[in-house]
Structures are given as C-alpha cells and as structure tokens.
Structure 1
C-alpha cells in the first residue's frame, strides 16, 4: 500500500501494522510529515495541550538510568532536596495557571515515593483544589493503594515514561525493568487514572525500537505521549552520545502519529536543542508540549511557547 493510501486508511480507522510502520522509515520525510499532520488534524483538530512540570523532589535517585543527572550512580552537577513545601508548589501552580497553562505535574526523583510522602502529596493536592489547573504526578513505580490515595486527592493523570522499547530497556537501566513499568501503569489505570507515558529518543535505539515502543503505548491506550530528545548530561554514561539529527526527530514524531493517530504527542525535554526550538514538529503530527524548564535542564519560556503555538493556529 502506498503512503497516500495508507494515510487514507488510517483516517478511516485502520490501525497500522508493525511491518507497515517499518516501511514508513524509508518514505520521503516531507511527505511523511505532511500526512502525519493531516492525521493529527483529522483526529485531534487544532486542540493543543500544554503543561508544565516542577521538580518537587530532586537527586539521590537509587536507579541507574544512564541518561539521568539525578542518579546516585553518576557524578553529575545536580541539586539535591527533599519534597518541596505545599506553599512553593502551589505558588508555582498559580503562576502557571495565570499564563494559560492547562496542566501542572509534580515530579519526584527515586524509584518511588514513601507512604508518608504520598500522604504529603495528597495534602498538597487537596490544598490546590482552588487553583484552575489540572494536577498530574510522576512518582515512580507505585502500588494500587498509593494510586488510589492520589486519585481521590485529585490527581487524575499519572506520568510514567516507558522510555524505550522492551528490547532496548536493559541497555538503559538495570535497577528496574520495562515489565515493572508496565505493571505500575496498569495499576494506575485500574483505579481510573489517565496515563502519560512516552519516549527518550537518541539513547542508542534503532527506528524499530522506537516503533516497538509506540506499539506498546498503543496497546496500553496511552493518550498523552511525551517525546524527549536526549540532552546528554555530563557525568552520565550517555554524555558522549551524539545528538540525533533533526530529520530523525521529525521522522520519529511523524511515525508516532501514524501509529497513535488520536494521542496527544507531547514534545518534552531536548526540544530546545533543535534549531527552531522544535516548532516545526507541530507540523509533523505533534500537538502538545511541556513548556518552561525541564527537571534538570532549561526549557523554553511559557510566554514564547503560548504566543507561537497560537500563531500556528492551535487553541487551548
């Protein structure tokens, strides 16, 4: 099936097969991106989802993910602090809401948070019910009872990146597994939470790995998919990896749109490494972003993002 006909079939509800997705890798990039954008327009319209994150607990992470500045296994420049106070987290949420940001996520370092920290996070969430912003969280590999507490406190979406394919995952991390992540995501789903889960691109994976990851996300029915470009951090095992090309990143976003036609494809860390700050990717199928600073690296200002995204014809 040629690319044009494949796009038409997807618009009519067809689900791409893995073999078809692999064949797309060799298609003309500009045409692939054009059709990916048409798929986005058909299923998602001009609706755009913009969010921010706060590094609510930083450093001293027990895990050995090779990209991460916060791991205790590597010598990096990383600020360390315990869970931030409710006042600090709420003040930042209010500032973001006033800028027009729709979602705000608390992110903590570590394999998971303790039950005591869960209780504190729930108190923080309860204290933020008067802030006109949707609250999300990224707290590692939790259990069902912990997710239930968070859900009832007002956190309806949980973030947990799969990062890479099941095949490539052991090359990236040895202290937890791809299967651990799937299990935790399913626990969050079982209590009614929506899931935000995606990828880090440029950690030594192949295009087939990226495609396999997208299919794993499709199987989980994930509708918010962050796509990060690796920003190599000095002191981590990945510090010497070459930045992937902008063409490869555009192709990856377009492939994800063909595989995940109805999802919010959310540009995340590393977008600022692109020559145009990644705005061209919103013509390749992406329709969401994390704005402002990332966890340990600088991002793009909320004001600039909101202005340019609106100029591109999207609305919030």
Structure 2
C-alpha cells in the first residue's frame, strides 16, 4: 500500500494525473501517510500560499430550486431570513471593512436559480462602488445559472471570479436536486470561462454520497480546470430532507481533502461550510492538503471568526494572498 501511495504521489509531483480507480484506492491508505503525501503535493505546487475569502448572503430565501441540503429552498421548511438583494451601502461597507481587516476576497452570494437582469445591473453598480473606495478588493459572485452575456457584463464591472458548485458527482446530483441539472451547472461554468472569468466550484460531502461520487466530482473539477475548490461538509439543518444525516468525522473529511489534492494539485482547496462541527474548526484540514478557507459566518450557519482564522494561519506559517 505504501509503495502505491509513493508511486501516485510521485506521478502527481512530476505533473502527471492519477486515474479514477487510483484515487478511490488512495482513500484507504494509511491516514497519516496519506495526509503527509497530500501536504507534500500542496507545498510543491502552492508553497505557503493561503487564499482567504469572506461572503455575504446578499439575497436570501424563497429559492425555487429543490436542493435537499439547502435551508433557503422554498421546497424545504427551514427557518431563514428572506430578503431581496441588499442595498448598495450595506454590501459596500461590509466589503471594505473585511478587506481592511486582511481578507483579500469578498463574495456576494445570491439565492435563486439565477440573478435577474435587474439584479445583475445592481451587482455591477455595487462592485464599481467597492472599487472606487478600495480597488484591491477581489470581488467574486455566486449568482446561479447566468448566461455568457450576463457574465461578460459582470466581468466588465469588476467581478473577477464566479462561484458555482457542482455539489456532487453527475451520477449523485439527481438524488439531491431535480429542479435543475448537473449539465446546467457545467454550462454556467463554461459561460463564465467564455466571459474570461476565473471559476470557484466544489461541492458538499456528507449528503449520502460514496467516495466514488466525491472522486468523480473532483475529476470533473479537474477537467474544468477550476482554480478554487470549496469543500463543504454538510451541516444538517432542521427543516431540510437531510436534517438527520450523520455529521462526518474529522478523519473522513481529511481523507477526502487529501484525495482532492491528489486530483487537483494546483488548486486552492477551500474549507467552506460545516466548520462549526469540526475539531478546532477544521484546523487539521490545513495539514491534509487544504490551503484556503471561507472565514466568518456562512449563508445560514455559523463559521469561524476572522480573527481566529488570521491567528491560525499565521501560526501555521501560511501567507495570506489571493490565489
């Protein structure tokens, strides 16, 4: 087993790719050795870079999509705030405040299948206002299944990166959502790339999927050449169909992140939702191949305090940047 681990690690370090079956087999390698190998790959390709971002729930609730994990879906019965796109001053002030506290990336996240044309125009106005005060803010957007034309307008306004999670594998996707398809997700990512934008896309583990589904998702992200991969760990929310799902233990999370690093050696692998349920807010993930995080609260759940994350990153000898 150890010989296989070394062989696959060296394949990746030399610029090669591992196969689907290789990645599945890696999952059962010795825990400490797997994490160490993932870290060696991370250091080789990413050095000490740590990409930190924060998000704002810019438009909340009443989403027409039926994603089983989501508190904001109108099909579910979770208690969440409901509001249309926040006013410009609220978002601009929050973005500037977070940037001046040391977070280089700021993402507006919107509920719904896609932003309307009116919302896209409003986002463009907001982004321009942010950059009038702080040109250095790296503004990202999670706005659903937007057209190539919509993305071009957003890019021209200063949005540099689009977030659109695949959520899971193509095979498992229909088990968690039927109101839109995996192919529509892929098309939205291609639309963003066509517009010249960077892409942030990952998924959620703990939905009930198998390791094969996780590997398939990570391979899909590799094929799309995604720059940033958020790994969310399901935080079962009361009122959703997945409210009774088991919370994953830290070893399973770390093994999954290590496999992601083998498949996507150059990506920013970003610890995202679910940190509140992890040991030390997921600190060990950053010694298992992860090198990025969403700091602060998530959309409808608690996250990590910005100051705590800053201190942790410093103590782990990472350098915060926008990868």
- For the superposition of Structure 1 and Structure 2, which TM-score range results when normalised by the shorter chain? over 0.9
| Structure 2 residue ranges without an equivalent (≥5) | none
1:29-68 correspondence to structure 2 within 5 Å: 29-68=31-70
Q: CA deviation at 1:294?
A: 0.3
- Map of 2:238 onto structure 1: 234
TM-score with structure 1 length normalisation?
Answer: 0.99
- Map of 1:17 onto structure 2: 19
User: Structure 1 residue aligned with 2:104, among 81, 88, 102?
Assistant: 102
Q: CA deviation at 1:255?
A: 0.2
2-side partners of 1:166 and 1:47: how far apart? Answer: 31
User: Structure 2 residue aligned with 1:79, among 60, 81, 88?
Assistant: 81
Q: Deviations over 1:91-128 (max 9, x none)?
A: 10111011100100000000011101111111111111
2-side partners of 1:31 and 1:190: how far apart? Answer: 40
Q: Deviations over 1:56-79 (max 9, x none)?
A: 000000000000000111111100
Partner SS for 1:36:
helix
Partner SS for 1:50:
strand
1:76-225 correspondence to structure 2 within 5 Å: 76-129=78-131, 130-131=133-134, 132-225=136-229
Q: Deviations over 1:211-270 (max 9, x none)?
A: 000000000000100000000110000001111121110100000000000000000000
2:251 counterpart of 1:247: yes
Number of aligned residue pairs: give it.
Answer: 316
2:7 counterpart of 1:5: yes
2-side partners of 1:242 and 1:22: how far apart? Answer: 22
Partner SS for 1:167:
helix
2:285 counterpart of 1:281: yes
2-side partners of 1:67 and 1:142: how far apart? Answer: 22
The alignment's C-alpha RMSD in Å is 0.8
Partner SS for 1:252:
helix
User: Structure 1 residue aligned with 2:270, among 266, 272, 281?
Assistant: 266
Q: CA deviation at 1:192?
A: 0.2
Deviates more, 1:46-55 or 1:13-22: 13-22
Q: Deviations over 1:13-60 (max 9, x none)?
A: 111111111110221111100100010000000011000000000000
2-side partners of 1:2 and 1:295: how far apart? Answer: 40
Partner SS for 1:15:
coil
| Structure 1 residue ranges without an equivalent (≥5) | none
2-side partners of 1:212 and 1:114: how far apart? Answer: 32
Q: CA deviation at 1:295?
A: 0.3
- Map of 1:291 onto structure 2: 295
1-side partners of 2:280 and 2:308: how far apart? Answer: 12
Q: CA deviation at 1:5?
A: 2.1
- Maintained 8 Å contact 2:261/2:269: yes
